Amino acid sequence: MTTADTLADVHTWAVAQEEASDAIRALLRVPARLGLLDADLGTIPADLGHFERRIAGQGHALVSRARDMAKSGAREDSRLRSLLRRYHIARSNTGPTDPAVRARYNALIEIIAAEEGPPGSGARWNIGKHRSLWVLRARACLAPEALTQGEIDRISAEMSAGKRKGLRRAVAFLGELHRLTNELPVLREFLPLVPLVSPAGSSRARKLDWDGLPKPFRDSFEAAADACLKGAGDHAEAFLARIEAGEDPETVMAEADAMAESKSREVGKPTAARTRYREAVSWLVRSWEDAGGDTEDLRDLRQLFERTTIETAIRDQIARSKDAADLRDPLDSTTLKARLMALITLARRGLEDARAVAILKFLGQQHYEMPRLKLKKDRGGAGILMEVDRIAAMLRQKPALAGIWANAPGRIAEAARRDVEAAQSAGDRDGEISALRRFAGAAAYALQMSRPLRPTCLRHTRIASKDDAHANLKRVSPRKDLLTFRYAPWEVKNVRDVTVDVTGSDAEILREWLDQWRPQMIALQDLDPDNVYLFPGAALPKPDKGDPVALPRGAYAPSSFLDLWRDSSAELGVHETPHRMRHVVALLTLAAHPGDYARVSAILGNTEATARQHYGRDNGEAAARQSRAAMLAAHPDLFKTLNRRHRR
């Protein structure tokens, strides 16, 4: 294969080889899935890496009317993946895996399987260890004893980042087998002569061997991490010990009072927090090495908290992110911010080093916060307008998307019920939790389609009061087809009271979630039965500056909630983030009520001028105008559904 190969080349080859019509049809639909013209087939790279990053899982709803979008999309992606793999094999003249090669892998796998047993049985490996070699049996063109680093790199280049993890496990297992040849001599004839190196996962920095660092340095880190993770009881014991040691009680009490007033939060997941601290420190260790430092010289964590080391790490990460196709833009990613926050916590609470805290904060502002603010200012509303244009183009391309989005809560809920029933019948606890999370997604869609909220607002919606945190759910009506949620000005971005009325089938889905599935999810996940959040979790919400109320623990973590939303969206075949659903609702509202920007502003909670600026340009008007007739033809009750949700 050459780098110039495109999907048009694949199409020409597939037709000449009389490949399956379903695979060719799936190939020709790729431009439409990406919002491109059919003629753009010749501009889309044909390599498998690009397919996994940019095409797989994208835009299937734009080209399909399947009832089960998730399965239909996965099936089409599988056809494309196999077609591309056959194309590359044909182009490289390697041919399909030789039966003799496959037989060698089968023989090796049988040897491994014979040494497996249940945990605690005394067997060398647990049952299933041999499966790590399946990826090589399926993809390698060389027998295990003939494997080369070039062959491993070739296989790696054709895989997605997720599947590349399996390849790394296989290579690591081969290395493990090399060390067992004295105990199992039969392995020798199946192993490559030269040890192989695991392929890099992506453009991310190299992995650091933490256990290979000097013990005094690791002990220094553990002591600092322990100090960061201390709870109120630990601090009290430390204060008492200082008083008993003869320190001035007034001084100690003043320090204790200052700590209490600072409202420092106890860490909810200490193991995860310690991992974050260690990853951030590993980041600095790599910077230390890259600058010529010897890790054997590291004795104290404080050695890394110098401006040169920190700034080098920041610059390196920004440069790698800008140059790598598989990493996000450094100013759009929160990775750098998260690492700096972990280091600030270590410096402040673990090392009690005010100088290091100041250096970290100033460098963070210089390299991340200020450039990010400048970029946001330079972009102005361009980013929002691009999002609106993209969604409007999707609605013009396939007006049936309007029906998919309008009926999303019911569609997701129906699939979730089926999955819950199947999981319960099979006694699959994890499957049942996954299905319940999908029903939680249906409830979230019911709220967002009624009146789009900020993701934070949606995540922190409360159904009961606790301490100073009031409930958002107001049971003001005996009607079962109406639920009302109210949000105080401090919870809302533009500082105003917001009321969300959820009606009809959306309210029924929310009631079903509240009465039946939510309690079941709490029980299965062993969460606090008194959890007050609509979407129960275990995270402690991070307060915004100036919030008058501290929210209690028990919310969904931001990343986990986005995963929940994405998993639910898979049922629709189209994914927009909770935040971007406001554009969907606005465009659907304009399709039902062309030119009614006052209605749009009332639903979104912004001004009519803002609504007109975002949705009143030619693109938004055209989407509404062109889509209306097609939407009505495909879904006669669509606008009734929208009007029911957004009565004014």
Q: Which two tokens stand for residue 555?
A: 């919310």
Task: Identify which of 347, 364, 369 has the alpha carbon closest to the alpha carbon of residue 356.
Answer: 347
Mean pLDDT of 398-407: 85
Q: Is residue 201 part of a domain?
A: no
- Are 565 and 470 found together in one domain? yes
Among 47, 64, 92, the domain-final residue is 92
**pLDDT of 192 above 70:** yes
Q: Is residue 254 part of a domain?
A: no
- Are 354 and 219 found together in one domain? yes
Number of domains in the chain: 4
Q: Is residue 197 part of a domain?
A: no
> Half-sphere exposure (CA, 13 Å, Cβ side) for 640?
5
Per-residue pLDDT tens digits for 247-259: 888 877 877 776 6
Per-residue pLDDT tens digits for 309-319: 999 899 988 88
Q: Is residue 622 part of a domain?
A: yes
Mean pLDDT of 397-420: 89
- Are 178 and 322 found together in one domain? no
- Are 503 and 617 found together in one domain? yes
Q: Is residue 249 part of a domain?
A: no
Contact 188, 178 (CB under 8 A): no
Q: Is residue 550 part of a domain?
A: yes
How far is it, in rounded angstroms, from Cα 145 to Cα 148? 9
- Are 159 and 280 found together in one domain? no
| Cβ-Cβ contacts under 8 Å for 69 (sequence gap 6 or more) | 60, 61, 570, 571, 572, 573, 574
Task: Identify which of 401, 456, 454 has the alpha carbon closest to the alpha carbon of residue 569.
Answer: 401
Q: Is residue 203 part of a domain?
A: no
Contact 140, 151 (CB under 8 A): yes
Mean pLDDT of 384-395: 83
- Are 415 and 560 found together in one domain? yes
**pLDDT of 421 above 80:** yes
Expressed as residue numbers, the domain containing 127 is 100-190
- Are 292 and 214 found together in one domain? yes
pLDDT of residue 632: 53
Given 3-state DSSP classes, what are the helix, strand and coil percentages for the chain, each rounded to the nearest 5? 65, 5, 30
**pLDDT of 121 above 70:** yes
Q: Is residue 244 part of a domain?
A: no
- Are 275 and 356 found together in one domain? yes
- Are 57 and 119 found together in one domain? no
**pLDDT of 597 above 50:** yes
How far is it, in rounded angstroms, from Cα 410 to Cα 397? 24
- Are 525 and 583 found together in one domain? yes
**pLDDT of 547 above 50:** yes
Task: Identify which of 51, 543, 647, 61 has the alpha carbon closest to the alpha carbon of residue 263.
Answer: 543
- Are 557 and 519 found together in one domain? yes
Using DSSP's 3-state secondary structure scheme, residue 457 falls into helix
Contact 534, 473 (CB under 8 A): yes
Among 92, 120, 155, the domain-final residue is 92
> Half-sphere exposure (CA, 13 Å, Cβ side) for 619?
16
Among 92, 109, 139, the domain-final residue is 92
Q: Which two tokens stand for residue 561?
A: 């909630």
**pLDDT of 648 above 50:** no
Between residues 383 and 268, the one the model is more confident about: 383
| CB atoms inside a 10 Å sphere around CB 159 | 18
In whole numbers, what is the pLDDT of the chain averaged over residues? 83
- Are 169 and 286 found together in one domain? no
Number of H helices, E strands in the chain: 30, 5
Using pLDDT thresholds of 50, 70 and 90, give the confidence band for residue 139: confident
Q: Which of 115-119, 151-155, 436-440 has the highest mean pLDDT?
A: 436-440
Which residue is associated with the tokens 């256990």?
211
Between residues 510 and 646, the one the model is more confident about: 510
The H or E element spanning position 52 is none
How far is it, in rounded angstroms, from Cα 583 to Cα 589? 10
pLDDT of residue 284: 92
**pLDDT of 160 above 70:** no
What amino acid occupies position 404?
I
